[in-house]
Structure 1
Amino acid sequence: HPCIKWTGGGCRRVPVLVFHAEAILTKDSYLRLIGERFHMSYKIVRTDSRLVRSILTAHGFHEVHPNSSDYNLMWTGSHLKPCLLRSLTDVQKVNHFPRSYELTRKDRLYKNVCRMQLAHGFKTFHILPQTFILPTEYQDFCNTYSKDRGPWIVKPVASSRGRGVYLVNNPNQIVVEDNILVSRYISNPLLIDDFKFDVRLYVLVTSYDPLVVYLYEEGLARFATVRYDQASKNIKNQFMHLTNYSVNKKSGDYVSCDDPEVEDYGNKWSMSAMLRYLKQEGRDTAALMTSVEDLIIKTLVSAELSIASACKSFLSHRGSCFELYGFDVLIDDTLKPWLLEVNLSPSLACDAPLDLKIKASMLSDMFTLVGFVCQDPGQRSSRATYHSSESVRRNPYQKLQRTRPLSASDAEVKSSMPLGREKATGRHSSSVLGLTMEEVKVLRRVREENERRGGFIRIFPTPLTWDLYGSFLEHKTSMNYMLATRLFKGSRKVCRGKPKGINSRTVLSSFFFLTSISDFSSTTGTSEPTKLSLKSDTEDEEEEEMDADEDEEVERSVCSISDTQVKNKPKLSDSVKTPCKEKLPKKCDKKTGDGGELKVQARTAFSAYLQHVQLRLMKETGDQIQNPAWAAKENEQMELIVRFLKRAASNLRQSLRLLLPSCHLGLTDRRRILARQLGEFIICYKKETEQMVQKQSKKKQEEEEGVNPKDFQNFIARA
């Protein structure tokens, strides 16, 4: 059934509901079948979201009274009381974490970021404009103002939609009330057609212990309705200085677009349309999005301790909470992003077709990722799910019978069972040795979430972001470390700080963008060429004089592919003979060991390596892997190749059109498509190498610095 995704392993297979955005338009009864059969339900408390209600209803959920305790999802617009959180069962979910106000209240956010600045350095966490909380810091604010008389913006600490926000250029203009926040106004914003804009980003957190963060591939760029003018006479014009939709929709100059396919018209654009525009203007959009991810992760890390501690105190089940945050980010004319605020319940109103297009897909992908177990909420036990899963596998139309709920003593005995007593089955069996039952559950849940991520991209943890930000985490438990070491087992260890060999001109030679924003242009379930190139026009020009260090970084980016391919793989068939390894000649070995090889020879060696990877893909196209653990390894390896192609293709001077395989295709088809695409990349890469050879043919002194050509070619032939 298109609305069922099986999770878990072995006999403990659990059906999880898959959501489809088009269901709100088609109203297909077939898509409602599973939700109706399991009597799945939701309740909406202290908020009103027509879009949430429409999506859930279209998938067979029915709404219950706000006082009911039988529900699969509680969607609320306010913070939750501890007693309610403690009462949640393992199949019930709510859309907020306890103490989320540590992020969404402007004063708490400011305090948390200040604490991280003191602990790790001001520049490291310089993500907010200079800020003061009044009346407590009024004197400090006046002292700062006397030194720099620029404009300041005043905001209530707990408001949204631009309410109570105004600009001042003198402290005497501020009405000091209970608690207000005064921030330095960013007077040099990046403009598009002379209009100021900000970006709304959708960030999903599914856990704070361990911290797991996803960023949605699409967002909204919201424009002011009056052209920007820095003159002080315009300081009172909110339509010029504020970009909130709630403010600007009241302007007579507000322009709405009625065509969902037109994403760059009017006062609201899609984020991808905004990035395309900036790229056409010669801006480095890849570096911009890298900085945005850096801002998001640091913001969440600053509040991680408080929220994770509250989760430990108030939650009976780790998977009970999830949260969708609305990050509002302003970009200045140097492409530095500034965090304006984090919204507790970002608006899901669909006043324009573009809103519906983006938000419906985002919510559907979010509900799928979070993972609603197909179970009647009245059956307060996960054991019922395991029994019912078999009947759904046989016949999804058959009505299910209730089974005895799992008792507290049963659950306690089960959770304390040693891992060795349980059957090691399924795809994760090879990676759970030495873990407790709780750690195994967390590891499996995070892996399965990532498989259902749709348009979301996991930005923390990844191999690089764990290395960059893992030391900032303040909630000292074993879960974060366990997750990082087990998720990326076999991946190349990433060193802290700036990797060696990266030219300062090409900041994106790291894995950071590879594992996240590079996937922005991909869509779930379809095979289509990547839409966004990851390098700006200026970077393409600089690639012509690429340093050997940058080539080496490209090589290192694919090393993790070979690391995982060599381990735990079935033997090659006799039809493909693996050449014996030839030792490098001593002179050659010494030369390369000293790092003295020419970039032409480095590229030649890398091309040879890629051809071996392609050969293995082509050979394995005919293999049928029966072991599910190996099939899972295959998926991970092919995902690495996909990421490498996306990133490496952007470094080619010649444009390469990528048609990457959908993750829903079979392993054989994915291998075949990847082998063909890798072959096309190798051809382009070799052409560029030949051009470099022609350029350097006149420079004999460079040849003397490299490996003897005869020895080198002999090594490549036998490698």
Structure 2
Amino acid sequence: MAASLVFRLHDRGPQLVREVLLERGWKEYDKWEREDRDWNLYWRGSEFHSSEYHSLLPWQRLNHHPKTAGITRKDSLVRNLRRMKATFGSALYNFSPTTFILPNEYTSFLAEYKLLPNREQSVCWICKPVDLSRGRGIFLFRDMKDLVYNCSVVVQRYISNPLLISGYKFDLRIYVCVKSFHPLTVYIHQEALVRFATEKYNLSSLSNVFAHLTNTSINKFGPFYKTQKGQVGSGCKWTMSKFRYFLQNQNINELFLWQRINNIVTLTLLSITGSVPNCPNCVELFGFDILIDSKFRPWLLEVNHNPSLALDCRTDLSVKKGLISDLVDLMDYTAVDGLRGKTYQTQRNVQTSFNANISTPVPSLPKLKDHNFQQKNKKSSKMHHEKTKRYLPPDETLHWILGSKMNVVKTGFSSVKLNSCQMLLHRKRWRFHVQEAKPPIGQHVPPIRAGGFIRTFSFNPATLKASLVKLDVLVVIQELQKLTARVASGRREETTGEEEEEDEDCFDSLLWGPEDPPLLSQWLNTKNKNT
């Protein structure tokens, strides 16, 4: 590569990201040696300020999309899933336990509590602060007198029949990468963490956090953390590979279980897709926490916007290091790698690259989006907003525009031919217009996988088409239901040969979950031949 890629970490962490990127030949950003915007990737645990999204340059990535707190904050997740349930039906959005947001919904919770039969003996509730993580502030209760809180909380009906392994409760930390919300593009990693409680499950002792909570930040301090615990072994984590081996002896439709988890991820993301601004140069890694009950029904517990990348054990290392490496591959930096280096080199000698008639001082790296535009006609403000709300064109279009094409800039003195980097540098000084060209056919189809990341949305031509311009949620849901029904039954709907050929030629995907995920088209054809 012509120039090394540069990463910037907020507050010097996480260490795993630093190690992976340094091993891949990246350089770490040093504010004393580099310009403020001389970096390719900015990684931080908290959300970015809105101005940081607006000022992104073509070669830069942020590790968070704007406004995703709609699913990562517990009370917002409850509201969004509740809204989707009211719109599309409780039969579809049935993967989250009954939940109330307190103190605002205390009266509703009290009414529900009083209606439940035998509440003192069988029904348990779990209380969680809305904006805390790592198990902090969580407790279980049966009696209302034990519900004591001093901040906003969610109270959720406790899933009292979890699937157990050697008597221990567990959940799954599923790693989900959203590469884009417009169009929605989702990948789920093949590896995940199975997180165990370190004491045997027992409903008679609700105060024992080591029996009911699976957070590693809690269980690594438990008295039995290092002891052998039946099939679980020592510690409190498995890899997904080991969990797949466990499922082989459970006499269940494993593919159907994976598809139901996949549906939870997609349906949850659909609840905020319409409210997340378009920012193509962002990518986000979410941690979906999934509990499986004794009937092998998956439940969504919560969504983490900053899943832990700490290495507490060898299982962490085997899962998370490959996860981050695959995430970097998924960002696909190679097409724009040279732009950052070219731009800063050009900045030093930019005067020699222009016609001698241009004597105006050269500004330092401007923002890609010009904030100095003004609305001259108030009636057209809405239309203007629609045209300018996209901070950057799609990656494929951007790469096509910034390739080897030369562009003419009207300077007022003469017409000067500039290359793409010079145009970026001088955008604020001279006005120019780039007509967005359509990328070649097929370039809008995201890759089917990147290392362990499997594309789970879009998954067929119908869902791709439904998400390209304005997301058609109803079409997406219908396609999800069709696929889930086929996976559950092992059969597929009859299609004409012409439709099959068209689908296979333009789009395909993998079925996430199995150790060796099959192509969806091949799996459907195989099932069709066997029926």
* Length-normalised TM-score, structure 1: 0.55
More helix per residue: 1 or 2? 1
Determine the C-alpha separation between the residues in 2 that align with 1:95 and 1:495: 30
Residue of structure 1 aligned with 2:240, choices 261, 271, 278: 271
Corresponding residue for residue 457 of structure 2: 460
Specify the code of the residue in structure 2 equivalent to 1:453.
A
Corresponding residue for residue 403 of structure 2: 386
Corresponding residue for residue 543 of structure 1: none
Specify the code of the residue in structure 2 equivalent to 1:374.
D
Determine the C-alpha separation between the residues in 1 that align with 2:506 and 2:263: 30
8 A Cα contact 1:554 1:648, kept in partner: no
Shift of 1:647: 5.8
Give the superposed CA RMSD: 3.8
Specify the code of the residue in structure 2 equivalent to 1:306.
S
8 A Cα contact 1:117 1:124, kept in partner: yes
Residue of structure 2 aligned with 1:408, choices 427, 431, 440: 427
Corresponding residue for residue 194 of structure 1: 167
Shift of 1:70: 1.2
8 A Cα contact 2:256 2:488, kept in partner: yes
Higher mean displacement: 104-113 or 332-341? 332-341
Secondary structure of the residue aligned to 2:303 is strand
Corresponding residue for residue 562 of structure 1: 501
Secondary structure of the residue aligned to 2:302 is strand
8 A Cα contact 1:132 1:138, kept in partner: yes
Corresponding residue for residue 111 of structure 1: 79
Cα gap change, 1:218 to 1:263, in 2 (>3 Å): farther
Residue of structure 1 aligned with 2:108, choices 140, 145, 167: 140
Superposed, which structure 2 residues align to 1:284-683 within 5 Å?
284-307=253-276, 311-312=277-278, 318-372=279-333, 373-375=336-338, 377=340, 379=343, 386=403, 404-406=422-424, 407-408=426-427, 413-416=433-436, 429=440, 431=441, 444=443, 446-447=444-445, 449-450=446-447, 453-463=450-460, 466=463, 478-480=469-471, 497-498=481-482, 507-509=488-490, 550=491, 553=492, 556=495, 562-563=501-502, 642-646=519-523
Shift of 1:279: 2.4
Determine the C-alpha separation between the residues in 2 that align with 1:154 and 1:42: 39
Deviations 1:260-289 (A, max 9, x none): xx9987521112321321221213222111
Corresponding residue for residue 245 of structure 1: 216
Shift of 1:559: 6.8
Secondary structure of the residue aligned to 1:386 is coil
Kindly, what percent of the aligned residue pairs are identical?
32
Deviations 1:371-396 (A, max 9, x none): 123125352697897359xxxxxxxx
Determine the C-alpha separation between the residues in 2 that align with 1:271 and 1:559: 39
Deviations 1:284-338 (A, max 9, x none): 222111110111111111111221xxx24xxxxx421110000001111111111
Corresponding residue for residue 208 of structure 1: 181
Specify the code of the residue in structure 1 equivalent to 2:422.
R
Specify the code of the residue in structure 2 equivalent to 1:241.
H
Determine the C-alpha separation between the residues in 1 that align with 2:17 and 2:315: 17
Corresponding residue for residue 217 of structure 1: 190
Residue of structure 2 aligned with 1:43, choices 2, 5, 8: 8
Specify the code of the residue in structure 1 equivalent to 2:248.
K
Shift of 1:123: 2.3
Deviations 1:429-457 (A, max 9, x none): 4x3xxxxxxxxxxx62x43x415622211
Specify the code of the residue in structure 1 equivalent to 2:321.
A
Shift of 1:404: 3.0
Shift of 1:405: 4.4
Specify the code of the residue in structure 2 equivalent to 1:145.
Y
Secondary structure of the residue aligned to 2:434 is helix
Corresponding residue for residue 348 of structure 2: none
Secondary structure of the residue aligned to 1:272 is helix
Determine the C-alpha separation between the residues in 1 that align with 2:423 and 2:208: 61
Shift of 1:464: 7.9
Secondary structure of the residue aligned to 1:125 is coil
Secondary structure of the residue aligned to 1:39 is coil
Corresponding residue for residue 19 of structure 2: 54
Determine the C-alpha separation between the residues in 2 that align with 1:638 and 1:282: 23
Secondary structure of the residue aligned to 1:251 is coil
Determine the C-alpha separation between the residues in 1 that align with 2:235 and 2:213: 16
Secondary structure of the residue aligned to 1:42 is strand
Shift of 1:117: 1.2
Shift of 1:358: 1.6
List gaps (5 residues or longer) in structure 2.
344-364, 369-397, 406-418, 512-516
Cα gap change, 1:205 to 1:47, in 2 (>3 Å): farther
Specify the code of the residue in structure 2 equivalent to 1:458.
R
Determine the C-alpha separation between the residues in 2 that align with 1:499 and 1:358: 29
Determine the C-alpha separation between the residues in 2 that align with 1:173 and 1:637: 49
Secondary structure of the residue aligned to 1:197 is strand
Determine the C-alpha separation between the residues in 2 that align with 1:480 and 1:114: 20
Secondary structure of the residue aligned to 1:225 is coil
8 A Cα contact 2:463 2:479, kept in partner: no
Specify the code of the residue in structure 2 equivalent to 1:404.
Q
8 A Cα contact 1:47 1:77, kept in partner: no
List gaps (5 residues or longer) in structure 1.
1-33, 313-317, 389-400, 420-427, 432-442, 486-493, 510-549, 566-632, 653-684, 690-719
8 A Cα contact 1:46 1:77, kept in partner: no
Cα gap change, 1:98 to 1:285, in 2 (>3 Å): same
Specify the code of the residue in structure 2 equivalent to 1:122.
S
Larger radius of gyration: 1
Cα gap change, 1:637 to 1:363, in 2 (>3 Å): closer
Cα gap change, 1:412 to 1:122, in 2 (>3 Å): farther
Determine the C-alpha separation between the residues in 2 that align with 1:634 and 1:139: 53
Shift of 1:125: 1.1
Specify the code of the residue in structure 2 equivalent to 1:450.
P
Specify the code of the residue in structure 1 equivalent to 2:501.
S
Cα gap change, 1:171 to 1:152, in 2 (>3 Å): same
Deviations 1:647-701 (A, max 9, x none): 666x69xxxxxxxxxxxxxxxxxxxxxxxxxxxxxxxx7xx89xxxxxxxxxxxx
Whether 2:67 is the aligned partner of 1:82: answer no
Secondary structure of the residue aligned to 2:337 is coil
Determine the C-alpha separation between the residues in 1 that align with 2:242 and 2:257: 14
Shift of 1:563: 3.8
